[in-house]
Amino acid sequence: MRTSRRLIAGLFVLPLLSGCFASSGDDSSASAGAAGGARLRVALPFAPTENYSPYGQDAMLLSRLGVSEGLTRLDANGTAVPALAESWSRENDGRSWVFSLRDAKFQDGGAVTAEAVAAALTAAGKADPAPSALSGVKLTATAEDERRVRVTTAESDPVLPLRLSNPSLAVFAPEAYDKKGTVNVVGTATGPFELTRTDGDTAATLNRFDDYWGGRAQASGVTARFVSDGTARANALRTGEVDIAESLPVAQIASLDKDDVHEVDTARNTSLYLNTRSGAFTDAGLRAAAREAIDTSVIAKGAYEGYAVPAQGLFGPALTWAAGKRVEPAGRARATRPDGESITLATYSDRPELPETAQVLQQQLRKAGFKVKLEVRTYARLEGDLLDGTFDAAVFSRNMMLDTGDPVTVLASDYTCDGSNNLSFLCDKNVDKLVAAAQAESGTAERQDAAMKAEAAVLGTDSVIPLVHLKLVAGIATEVQGALPDPYERTLIGTGTRR
């Protein structure tokens, strides 16, 4: 079983100082006015960790800033809609799809052709580790002619248009790719904003791409700064140093003007992942004891101050179809008395509510009879040990629809034997069987039904204990219009975002 070192969860960040909002030449009023339309100043919590590689977490950053895009995108209902592709059709036995491209340009001036798109998708398919959207999928892409590209999968894939909406499958100009598999995204994407300068993991400068197929953006550019300290982001918004501050800590919300605070229900969960491969939680009875010890309402009211609700499963209220299709987990083991069993519980400090959540869990598990050591680090320092299975349990935040918008895909990547994002190291034959059955369904309703059966099987193993479903709380200054926070956490800045 292989776990990807590129977890798509909105995590990767290095600690920065709160005083990082000093003005630069790129922010000056003169340069903004000359370009036509004020620049947007944005504070983001998670810094690039892979030199803006499109194949990992940094792809989500590029998407939110309006730099990159793929053949499709997700609308508010989680449906695949046109992006670089104007239309598509499914052919033959369902393994082959043909996408018709719109007239678009790369930011280096070249035309978006079927050959360029096919090369970009082929490069993504060869990436190691593969993007999470391609977990378990073998994909080939070829140019049919100048404007049509054929995408074929080894097995029938009824959700391929959804899969291709993942920012990790964005299309870049041919010159962006080298023989080593790295991608230079500076000035080679197709979105309304062009990445023109990167300052390590502290800041990035974007200018408007005037030849964007979707129309000229109203802002002249974006200055993005990466600030892990949530209090610093809130202060920067409060003092007018930034226009948008993403992912505000709930403890800071009361101190802001209520008109600057925007809530969005998301598909993001905070969950407790139990290591089923080694340590105490290889024992199903002890996993059951941990589940029975936890009161999720305390976490929702305390750590999240009401900006979350107790979890009902893996898929929360942002997915309106889930509640009516939920299946009760069966086959759970009987709880075993911990009798002082020692465990190490880990989490990361980059999301400020997580350490507090871990402290609540530590108390509840101790009360149940566990001896609990708490390990809190920045994610950059935690990641290696987390992926190696060093800890018995981990508190982790995950957007369940981030990968493709398809519930079955996230089940395959997070909970199957060969899943690329399997933090619990779960390998259960029944889970794999039910996920495979869900993958074979092509109808939306049927696929959702099958996904909920698989969810019940996952929860029946007690390998993951969903804690809360989260709200996204963004700080957006009242003079800013057209910002695009969404439940899938893929968008933030678009052509109509301005101040």
Residues in the chain: 499
The amino acid at residue 428 is D
Its pTM stands at 0.79
Q: What is the pLDDT of residue 486?
A: 84
Calculate mean pLDDT across residues 278-282: 98
Q: Distance between CA 169 and CA 70 in Å, rounded? A: 6
Minimum mean pLDDT among 151-165, 205-219, 285-299: which range? Answer: 151-165
> pLDDT class for 135, splitting at 50, 70, 90?
confident
Q: Whose CA is closest to 121, among 155, 78, 85, 81?
A: 85
The yes-or-no verdict on residue 11 having pLDDT over 70 is no
The yes-or-no verdict on residue 236 having pLDDT over 90 is yes
> pLDDT class for 4, splitting at 50, 70, 90?
very low
Phi, psi at 186, each rounded to 5°: -70, 115
The yes-or-no verdict on residue 19 having pLDDT over 80 is no
Among all chains, which residue has been given the structure tokens 């046109």?
82
Calculate mean pLDDT across residues 144-164: 94
Minimum mean pLDDT among 81-85, 372-376, 444-448: which range? Answer: 444-448
CA angle 43, 46, 49 (to 5 degrees): 130
Q: What is the pLDDT of residue 31?
A: 40
Average pLDDT, the chain: 90
Percent of all residues in the chain with a pLDDT value above 90, rounded to a whole number: 73
Q: What is the pLDDT of residue 49?
A: 86
The yes-or-no verdict on residue 300 having pLDDT over 90 is yes
Q: By the 8 A CB rule, do 485 and 472 touch? A: yes
> pLDDT class for 6, splitting at 50, 70, 90?
very low
Q: Distance between CA 90 and CA 282 in Å, rounded? A: 44
The yes-or-no verdict on residue 22 having pLDDT over 50 is no
Longest dimension (CA), the chain: 70
Q: Distance between CA 82 and CA 67 in Å, rounded? A: 17
Calculate mean pLDDT across residues 357-369: 98
168 or 25: which carries more pLDDT confidence?
168
User: Residue 457 belongs to what H/E stretch?
Assistant: helix 444-460
Strands 221-226 and 308-310: unpaired
Q: By the 8 A CB rule, do 205 and 225 touch? A: no
Q: What is the pLDDT of residue 92?
A: 74
> pLDDT class for 126, splitting at 50, 70, 90?
very high
Task: Work out the burial of residue 379: count CB atoms within 10 Å of its CB; fewer than 13 is exposed, 13-18 middle, 19 or more buried.
Answer: buried
Q: Residue 381, Cβ neighbours under 10 Å: how many?
A: 13
Q: What is the pLDDT of residue 36?
A: 62
Q: Domains in the chain, start-ordered, CATH in brackets?
A: 1-67+191-257+478-499 (3.40.190.10), 69-173 (3.90.76.10), 268-470 (3.10.105.10)
194 torsion bin: left (phi>0), alpha (psi -120 to 50), beta (else): beta
User: What is the 8-class DSSP label of residue 167?
Assistant: G
The yes-or-no verdict on residue 16 having pLDDT over 70 is no
Q: Distance between CA 186 and CA 99 in Å, rounded? A: 26
The amino acid at residue 32 is A
Q: Whose CA is closest to 370, among 497, 272, 448?
A: 272
Q: Distance between CA 47 and CA 58 in Å, rounded? A: 8
Give, in order, the Cα–Cα distances in Å from 144 to each of 91, 95, 114, 138. 13, 16, 7, 19
Q: Whose CA is closest to 11, among 477, 391, 413, 421?
A: 421
485 or 101: which carries more pLDDT confidence?
101
Calculate mean pLDDT across residues 213-234: 96
Give per-residue pLDDT as tens, 414-466.
999 988 889 999 999 999 999 999 998 988 889 999 999 999 999 999 999 99
Give per-residue pLDDT as tens, 25-39.
344 333 444 346 899
User: Residue 450 belongs to what H/E stretch?
Assistant: helix 444-460
Calculate mean pLDDT across residues 455-482: 96
Q: By the 8 A CB rule, do 451 and 249 touch? A: no
SS (H, E, C) 46-95: CCCCCCCCCCCCHHHHHHHCCCCCCCEEECCCCCEEECCEEEEEEECCCC
Q: What is the pLDDT of residue 360?
A: 98
> pLDDT class for 318, splitting at 50, 70, 90?
confident
